[in-house]
Structure 1
Amino acid sequence: MLGEYSGLTLDSMHLKLGVKLGSSYHLATRQLQAQVLQPLVAQGKVLLEGSRY
């Protein structure tokens, strides 16, 4: 009985932690995308435009 209960609380704690980590990870990746990918995409567009002519 105690084992089941502790497993249940552990799972819910794990879930909460996962959600917290997931959301902060999501935020971090979005910030990373904004900082890294957008300039790269802009540069790629410039290169593509330049190679057309």
Structure 2
Amino acid sequence: MVNDEFFDLFEGSFTDLLSYDEKYTFLAGAGISMDAPTKIPSAREIVRTMLELCAP
């Protein structure tokens, strides 16, 4: 769900978004590992926790 009030349409290529000098981590998945026994947090929870720890 994209809200046009917050996002502008990007008309460049995917490679224009990324710098070759930077390192990236992509969090992708279907959420199947969120249930027991693994209980791995969702990407949203990971990012939220990282932000809370780095910028309280």
TM-score of the superposed pair, with normalisation by structure 2: 0.28
Which protein shows a greater Rg? 1
Higher relative contact order (CA 8 A, sep 6+): 2
The two structures have a TM-score, normalised by structure 1, of 0.29
